[in-house]
């Protein structure tokens, strides 16, 4: 086994050093969750756009002040020829729509609910970012554990192949046995190369999730598997929280409210406006006084079918929004149920991997004792099986953590930096 340990050490030395820098912790990774990634910037831009649209919805009832300048030459009738041909004007006009009988009110209601939908979508993007960091971090840990298992299996296979090769030279083993051992060694070596590729790929994905593309973490600190096994609420509690906290569901509900406001807004409503004008003119006339003020009532009488077409479109949009709301409710409830059931199954799987890990630790202790007593022992196999049990122990806990994090996100809870 000294040769096996030397081979393992040599292979580890050939790999990039993972102890040069302090290992990255899950807490440190999650602390970068709110950095401006393209996905978060897009969600924030959509939220800002919805807010601007909500602000603009009430502009039509605002007070307006504008300057007007006119340069004009005319040919006056003979009776007014003494006034000349110049008819220039400089005016300051103040105007305000006093009421449009509900058009702006419903427009503001629609814009406000769309702004609410955008805020929930932004919350969903933040949750997705945190889950991505958690998922990628645990993926790196599992890739490292899988590499350790594959590497150890390769070391054992190489030692056996090398030992068998020496015996074959002495005629103690057949060529067939030698080739079979070589194939087993090469298979394990190929698995090591594949595991190395997964290590690098998983680190690249983690770097992207943390908004550090190209800055691959050298080492990560595995979270304690037992600390990840947090209790899960009853299914009835999850269902109730879905309705009140699920970002997708709340955004879809806000879009339904916006569609209803848009339908209520449709109509050829009148508008009452006030305008006051003060000006200076190049020619005198009864309409060119120093100031004037008045009320204007506009009442659409014929719209050429525009109102009917707009109402049909608004009804279709409302039907689509209501259908989307129901579809989102069903999708989120089914996904939450699957995560909740997965947690129940993973609890049972945890008991199995805990027992198997304890068994493999005891088995290795016995194999090591037999080896030290110079009794025939399968110490190499025991080491490999223990490494596999450790990897599976972490995998079950991490699958549990992923399902639990997804469930938290579905009921509207953000993963904090200190998690679990």
Q: Does residue 420 form part of some domain? A: no
Q: Does residue 417 form part of some domain? A: no
DSSP string of 60-84, one letter each residue: GGSEEEEEEEE--B----GGGGGG-
By residue range, what is the domain housing residue 282? 2-298+310-410
pLDDT of residue 83: 67
Q: Does residue 133 form part of some domain? A: yes
Between CA 188 and CA 383 the distance in angstroms is 15
Q: Does residue 305 form part of some domain? A: no
Q: Are 112 and 278 in contact (CB under 8 A)?
A: no
Task: Identify whether 420 is preceded by a cis peptide bond (ω within 30 of 0).
Answer: yes
Burial 269-305 (b: 16+ CB within 10 A, else e): bebebeeebebebbbeeeeeeeeeeeeeeeeeeeeee
Q: Does residue 380 form part of some domain? A: yes
Which single residue is written with the structure tokens 């609890």? 347
User: In this structure, what token pair is assigned to residue 305?
Assistant: 């079918």
3-state secondary structure of 259: helix
Q: What is the full per-residue pLDDT of the chain (420 aa) written as tens digits?
A: 333 443 443 344 344 444 457 899 999 999 999 888 898 899 999 999 998 988 888 888 888 899 999 898 887 776 666 667 788 899 899 999 888 888 888 888 999 999 999 999 999 999 999 999 999 999 999 999 999 999 999 999 998 888 888 888 888 878 898 889 899 999 999 999 999 999 999 999 999 999 999 899 999 999 999 988 888 889 999 999 999 899 999 999 999 999 999 999 888 889 999 999 998 888 777 777 788 899 988 888 888 888 889 999 999 999 999 999 999 999 999 999 999 999 999 999 999 999 999 999 998 888 888 877 776 667 888 888 999 999 999 999 999 999 999 998 999 888 765 555
Between CA 405 and CA 129 the distance in angstroms is 12
Q: How many domains are contained in the chain?
A: 1
Instruction: Give the phi and the psi of residue 65 in degrees, each rounded to 5.
Output: -130, 125
Instruction: Give the phi and the psi of residue 22 in degrees, each rounded to 5.
Output: -60, 135
Neighbouring C-beta atoms of residue 214, cutoff 10 Å:
7
Q: Does residue 7 form part of some domain? A: yes
In this structure, what CATH number is given to the domain that contains residue 392?
1.20.1600.10
Cβ contacts of 173 within 8 Å, gap of 6 or more: 164, 167
Between CA 127 and CA 400 the distance in angstroms is 18
Q: Does residue 303 form part of some domain? A: no
């Amino acid at each position: 086994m000294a040769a096996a340990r030397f081979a393992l050490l040599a292979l580890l030395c050939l790999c990039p050093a993972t102890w040069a820098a302090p290992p990255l912790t899950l807490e440190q990774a999650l602390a970068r969750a709110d950095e401006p990634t393209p996905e978060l910037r897009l969600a924030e831009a959509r939220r800002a756009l919805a807010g601007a649209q909500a602000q603009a919805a009430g502009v039509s009832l605002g007070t307006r002040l504008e300057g007007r300048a006119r340069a004009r030459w005319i040919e006056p009738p003979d009776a007014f020829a003494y006034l000349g041909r110049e008819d220039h004007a400089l005016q300051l006009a103040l105007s305000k729509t006093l009421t449009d009988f509900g058009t702006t009110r419903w427009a503001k209601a629609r814009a406000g609910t769309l702004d609410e939908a955008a805020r929930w979508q932004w919350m969903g993007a933040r949750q997705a970012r945190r889950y991505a960091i958690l998922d990628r971090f645990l993926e790196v840990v599992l890739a490292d554990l899988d590499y350790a298992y594959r590497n150890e299996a390769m070391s054992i296979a190489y030692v056996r192949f090398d030992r068998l090769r020496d015996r074959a030279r002495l005629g103690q083993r057949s060529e067939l046995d030698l080739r079979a051992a070589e194939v087993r060694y090469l298979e394990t070596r190929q698995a090591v190369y594949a595991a190395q590729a997964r290590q690098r790929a998983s680190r690249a994905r983690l770097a992207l999730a943390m908004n550090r593309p190209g800055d691959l973490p050298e080492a990560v600190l595995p979270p304690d598997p037992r600390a990840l096994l947090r209790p899960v609420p009853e299914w009835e509690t999850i269902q109730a929280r879905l309705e009140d906290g699920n970002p997708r569901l709340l955004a879809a509900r806000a879009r339904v409210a916006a569609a209803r406001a848009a339908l209520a807004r449709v109509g050829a409503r009148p508008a009452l406006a006030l305008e006051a004008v003060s000006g200076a003119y190049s020619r005198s006339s009864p309409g060119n006084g120093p100031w004037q003020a008045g009320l204007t009532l506009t009442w659409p009488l014929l719209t050429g079918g525009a109102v009917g077409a707009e109402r049909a479109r608004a009804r279709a949009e409302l039907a689509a929004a209501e259908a989307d709301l129901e579809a989102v409710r069903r999708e989120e409830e089914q996904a939450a149920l699957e995560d909740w059931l997965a947690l129940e199954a993973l609890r049972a799987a945890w008991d199995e991997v805990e027992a198997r890990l304890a068994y493999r630790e005891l088995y290795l202790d016995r194999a090591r004792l037999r080896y030290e007593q110079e009794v025939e022992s399968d110490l190499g196999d025991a080491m490999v099986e223990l490494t596999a049990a450790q990897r599976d122990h972490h995998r079950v806990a991490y699958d549990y953590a992923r399902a639990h994090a997804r469930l938290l996100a579905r009921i509207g809870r953000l993963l904090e930096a200190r998690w679990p």
